Amino acid sequence: MTGRYLLRRLLDAVLTLFGVALVIFLVLRVIPGDEITARFGIEGGALTDAQIESLRSYYGLDQPLPVQFFSWLGSVLSGNFGVSVTSGNAVSELILSALPVTIELAILASIIGTALGVVLGVFSAARPNSVADTAAQGFGLLGLGIPNFVLAAAVVAVLSAQFGYFPSAAGYAPFFEAPLVNLQQQLYPALVLGIGLAAATMRTTRSAYLEEASRDYVRSAKGKGLAPRRVRWRHIMHNASIPIVTISGIQFGYLLGGTVIVEQIFALPGLGRLVLTGIEQREYAVVQSVIVVIAAMFVLVNLAVDLLYARIDPRVNLS
Amino acid sequence: MSQPIETIEGPAVAAAPLRRGQWLGRLWHNRNGRVGLLIMGLLALLALASALGLTPYSPIAQHPEDQLVGPSSTYWLGTDQFGRDIASRVCAGLLASLRVAVISVAIATILGAAGGIIAGYFGGWTDRIIGRLTDVMFAFPAILLALAIVAALGRGWFNTAIAIAVVYLPIFVRVARGPVLSVRSMDYIRAGKVLGYSPPRLIARHVLPNVAAPIIVQVALALSWAILTESGLSFLGLGTQPPEPSLGLMVSDARTLFDRAWWLLVFPSLAIVLAVTGLNLLGDGLRDVLDPTRSQSRGRRRRR
């Protein structure tokens, strides 16, 4: 892994993120209404022209768009994401408190999805066309076909009807304060997300395994009398792991955005809920900052996955 | 809805050009393809019935005397809290979902494939600019981009369709670009250039047939993702607006009534799952038929 390659990829990532910030900035400027209408609502109609003018200059809305963009970008780079008008909190504080919730959810879901998906995939590919294989493939198909909001809605409906459990954002317990309560609150949303991931991972694992299993080195390994388990995990899976790492990396990135709906349903105070409330309350500062933060993590995860290739597969030449 | 978008990279080597009709027959002989075709045929018929007004009741007609009635011979799938017939509403919801899916994927396919073909065919700066733009689009988690666009354009089914189209556009660019690169340097294209054929003619007559296969596979997967996203956005209240029936909205409304009326949650959910699974199966079948190098059932054939 050469430093030059790393530098080029980082530069690429920075360029991409600049584009992301620009796109989000422009998209949100199309929204009718601005911070002033969001702040004052209908009462905004009672403001005099002079009051509107001074408010516009207070929020910087009278500046040309490029100036608004670069001043926003500059403050973001120095860690100042602005202030949420409705709650009065700094956006950076809102993000910092929501970020751990989403990252924890994404990590838990990834662990569940990858573990379940790889085991099921190997299990089914090692016995092609058996009953077990058909069942595992059926799981894969259904897991991809059930939207996570349907699964989440069903889980919450059953939990509240049978056990009187109603998720609430107010009662959220951070991991380091009450780890057990926290895990209990994160378990169901993580399972819901994990099952969808497991389905995709299972399908990838199965086809990668079958591809490797037909190669000559596998026949040799079997021929020299290695235990099937050893052939399966040490030989086949070692070589089949590249597409699996790829899909796990891609999925982790999607999880960062895809938690939106599940966080909403399970009332977890994460980034997803932050974005949704931001959209409802027309809070530019919140929405654009959160989306840029998520996109930044997405780009970094993808970079990390690319670099991981080289560790797994020495044939990959990074320069 | 956070399900990762399944994509295929455009193959480095172009598949054999498609002949009309031939692949539909082969699709029918593929197990996945046939089940997918059957499911989607059935759902399309139900949606058509709703479009033609052939459902037993109007999807928005309220029957105050029959609130929250379970499935029965009068109301096959029961009624909701306003006494509206769930069977009719599910059919209408399917129509709404399919409408958004077809419109959005049509836009994404036409614009995306055009972009990909132009990038691959002309190369150079055109390719680099289009490539950079798609990179930026790929940096957004798909659902977040869709959310931001719907927030910008406003709620409603048509804006949802546009949002889905924008999210899927770069994927079609990538799928189309790959095979064009390999076709571009073929002798017959060079010969066409020497003969003075215009780029539009060369692209339409000689390039397009070579990139059709991966695009068709991607269309099936895109439709499935579009239905997931449409119902998800409607679930959040951003997509199809009430009183127009929408599967996502029905699932959302059913949550609080689940202990008294399970059918409100089960049947719309089932319709979504069937539609998504049917399209996924169709996509798998098309991939088996059109792109033998990436077949899912490859292991079966190679087994010794």
User: CB of A264 within 8 Å of any CB in chain B?
Assistant: yes
Please report, for chain B, the start and end positions of each structural domain, with discontinuous segments joined by +: 15-52+105-303
- pLDDT tens, residue by residue, A276-295: 888 877 776 788 788 888 88
For residue A161, give the nearest of B154, B258, B303 by CB distance. B258
Residue B71 has pLDDT above 90, yes or no: no
Asked if A318 and A3 count as a contact pair (C-beta separation under 8 A), the reply is no
Residue B294 has pLDDT above 60, yes or no: no
What is each CA distance from A137 to A119, A127, A199, B126, B144, in whole angstroms?
13, 12, 9, 42, 30
Domains parsed from chain A with CATH numbers: 2-77 (no CATH), 91-312 (1.10.3720.10)
- DSSP three-state, residue B187: helix
Q: Which run of H or E residues covers position A17?
A: helix A3-29
- pLDDT tens, residue by residue, B5-58: 444 444 444 455 556 567 778 888 888 889 999 999 999 999 998 888 888 888
Q: Would the CB atoms of B147 and A275 count as touching at under 8 Å?
A: yes
Selected residue of B3, B169, B235, B279 to mutate for chain A interface (largest A Cβ count, 10 A): B3
DSSP class per residue in B228-273: HHHHHHHHTTSSSPTTS--HHHHHHHHGGGTTT-HHHHHHHHHHHH
- The matching CATH number, chosen from 3.40.47.10, 3.30.365.10, 1.10.3720.10, 3.20.20.70, for B15-52+105-303 is 1.10.3720.10
- pLDDT tens, residue by residue, B140-190: 878 888 888 887 788 888 999 999 999 999 999 988 888 888 888 888 888
Determine the distance in angstroms separating the CA of B52 from the nearest CA of chain A, rounded to an integer. 28
CA distance B99 to B47: 9
CA distance A248 to B91: 36
- pLDDT tens, residue by residue, A173-203: 777 777 777 887 888 899 999 998 899 899 8
Distance of CA A228 to the CA centre of its chain: 37
Q: Would the CB atoms of B151 and A157 count as touching at under 8 Å?
A: no
Q: Which chain B residues have a beta carbon less than 8 Å from that of A256?
A: 141
User: CB of A99 within 8 Å of any CB in chain B?
Assistant: no
Q: To 10 degrees, what angle do helices A179-213 and A131-145 make?
A: 120
DSSP class per residue in A268-307: --SHHHHHHHHHHTT-HHHHHHHHHHHHHHHHHHHHHHHH
Q: Would the CB atoms of A27 and B152 count as touching at under 8 Å?
A: yes
- The token duo for B121 is 């065919």
Determine the distance in angstroms separating the CA of A199 from the nearest CA of chain B, rounded to an integer. 9
Distance of CA A159 to the CA centre of its chain: 25
Asked if B35 and B287 count as a contact pair (C-beta separation under 8 A), the reply is no
User: CB of A227 within 8 Å of any CB in chain B?
Assistant: no
Which residue from A247, A226, A246, A250 is spatially nearest to A236, judged by alpha carbons?
A226
Q: Would the CB atoms of B136 and A142 count as touching at under 8 Å?
A: no
pLDDT tens for chain A, residues 1 to 319: 567 777 888 888 888 888 888 887 887 776 555 556 655 655 666 677 777 777 777 666 777 778 888 887 887 777 777 777 777 788 888 888 888 899 899 999 999 999 999 999 998 988 888 888 888 888 888 888 898 899 998 888 888 877 777 776 667 777 777 777 788 788 889 999 999 889 989 988 998 888 888 888 888 888 898 888 888 888 888 888 878 887 777 777 778 777 888 998 888 888 888 888 888 777 767 887 888 888 888 888 878 877 777 666 666 655 4
Which residue from B236, B193, B221 is spatially nearest to B277, judged by alpha carbons?
B221
Q: Which residue of B has its CA nearest to A141?
A: B277
- pLDDT tens, residue by residue, A88-131: 788 888 888 888 899 899 999 999 999 999 999 998 988 888 88
| pLDDT of A194 | 92
CA distance B149 to B164: 9
CA distance B146 to A232: 41
Phi, psi for B85 (deg, rounded to 5): -75, 120
pTM over the 0.95 mark: no
